[in-house]
Chain A
């Protein structure tokens, strides 16, 4: 049973557009939601994260919008660049600690120029 779901599975946007990646979860106890970015041939790396007490987290061109009531969150990448082409993983955990991170299936983003 997949506790963290992502959509779409793949997404293509043009350079300069805003990419929107979606994530939903089932466990109401989840309180920490990081997004990891993975380039081909590399391991995932933390991009940005949000806690359930917040509804928005911004870091440059990357913004997480969080809706606790609907158990949904989204990652918005504004002014998308070809260098943003990667697979993005939404993850969730409760009670802290990396060992409890549950990863979604990932969204493969392609930014065309």
Chain B
């Protein structure tokens, strides 16, 4: 199926530093998402992005989190500053439009905050 690419696959970072996770969504998709999965736990929705704006965010999307997609470039999740509890696998996803809602996921970026 359609591929969502995530870079890097694994990132280790010191607590308090900034990290940017990169995602290359499916090329013609309009809706972009970030999800968080702590090891052994449930996949949880963070944020939904469309037309250059955050459409919806969950309570997990803390003030330290931000998302953007500058023209034609990666869809990014930035965490500044990072905290130990931010350690998780972050999955990027995309879907085509508001009536074809099938969601496709990337392989995830494993973030370890030390």
Whether both chains belong to one complex is answered with: no
Residues of B within 8 A of A (CB): none
